[in-house]
A = this chain, B = another copy of it.
Amino acid sequence: MIGVHTASRLCASVRTYNRGVALSEFGLIERFFRRPARSSSVVLAGGDDAALIAPTVGFEIALSVDMLVENRHFFHGVDPQALGHKSLAVNLSDMAAMGATPRWALLAGALPAADPQWLAAFARGFFDLADAFGVDLIGGDTTQGPLNLCVTIAGEVPAGQAIRRGGAKTGDDVYVSGELGASALAVAALQDRVALDADALTSSRMRLDWPAPRVALGERLRSVATAMLDVSDGLTGDLTHILDASGVGAAIELAAIPRSSALDALLATPARDVAIECLLAGGDDYELLFTAPPSSAPTLAALSRDLELPLTRIGWITVERGLTVTDEHGDALGAVPRAFDHFAGDSQA
């Protein structure tokens, strides 16, 4: 199965084969990432060929993986503590989006060099978030290479209670948690596509670099939401996933979409188009987008108060397929921005 052509290409490349840094340097990994597990569900973590966990009887296990690549999912030179936070946060958000409780994580990373200061900061960001959600890091793999972080998350959900994308029903309301568009606004500002004052830039950057996974909300929506996902690629693109999976359409009101005051102000300026892009197609929000029957409104209002997290009705599910977005005057937007985001090109299977 090894053809001559392949072999000769290999022989040409073998001289550049990089045997890399010494093992001793990567002993640093153990120093920063090996910690005793906290949950009794962890039978074995680290130091063997695999970790062992004891699943809870009556629960299903939710599994997801996200790979973050430098200059694609984060800027070169990003604060390593924020990167540690975000690399886990996007995975916790996947668990939240299923209504699952995140419990165990595996961290694989390629690093250009083993810089103790960088690793310490990264680990601090990662573990602060892991601790906040009771997640144990049970294994991993580190190697030398172009910066790449691959986190696998495993969580649990009572059997049959996970919230999927395909359950939206005609007449359901469409809700989103928190605010949308701030992360995309930060990227647009850093790319000089819009001008923001220092405070607005800082608060938008906080949303880009330190996203808050909505785990508690996801769990509490198990018996309420009919379909759910997290907004990672932008509202219209992600909502379309729900619509396609559910075989329905939706009508969304631009004015109803919760946004920061900075983004709101931009809507009345010549940068309105960028603001609309951020709201409708900005990625990296990690808010939960879900559908629920109108009868759930009181439950959702109470839940919003409990969690001190806005839950905003932004539209409704229609029997007609397709997605309509209306502007502040009730007119349908001609072109609905989609798939504008710095994640363009990703595909999750």
Contacts and interface: CB of A to CB of B under 8 A. Distances in A.
Given A14-B75, A47-B245, A108 B150 contact: yes
Interface stretch (A294-302, A315-323, A339-347): A339-347
Nearest to A58: B57
A63 B165 contact: no
Q: Which has the most chain B C-beta neighbours within 10 Å: A202, A345, A349?
A: A349
Q: How many copies does the complex hold?
A: 2
A71 B13 contact: yes
B344 A50 contact: no
A148 B70 CA distance: 12
A159 B52 CA distance: 9
Contacts of A109: 67
Query: What is the predominant secondary structure among interface residues of chain A facing chain B?
Result: mixed
Given A50-B62, A66-B108, A97-B50, A347 B23 contact: yes
Contact of A13 (B76, B110, B138): B76
Interface string A1-23: 11100110111111111111111
Interface stretch (A139-147, A174-182, A260-268): A139-147
A69 B145 contact: yes
A349 B34 contact: yes
A229 interface: yes
Contact of A55 (B55, B65, B144, B162): B55
Contacts of A132: none
A73 interface: yes
Given A22-B344, A51-B64, A108-B66, A76 B16 contact: yes
A334 interface: no
A335 interface: no
Contacts of A108: 65-67, 150
Given A82-B1, A139-B65, A18 B50 contact: no
A294 to B, nearest CB: 25
A44 B47 CA distance: 31
Contact of A146 (B66, B148, B157, B349): B148
Interface string A115-158: 00000000000000000000001111111111010101111010
A164 interface: yes
B18 A63 contact: no
B71 A62 contact: no
Nearest to A137: B349
A50 B165 contact: no
A57 B59 CA distance: 10
Nearest to A62: B50
Contacts of A187: 14, 17
6 contacts: A20-B345, A26-B346, A49-B98, A63-B152, A64-B106, A65-B141
The 8 closest A-B pairs by CB, nearest first: A9-B77, A69-B145, A49-B97, A50-B64, A150-B150, A20-B345, A26-B347, A13-B76
Given A1-B82, A143-B347, 17 more contacts: A2-B206, A13-B77, A14-B191, A23-B344, A23-B345, A43-B162, A47-B349, A48-B164, A49-B165, A50-B62, A51-B63, A63-B106, A65-B152, A141-B346, A143-B345, A144-B345, A150-B150
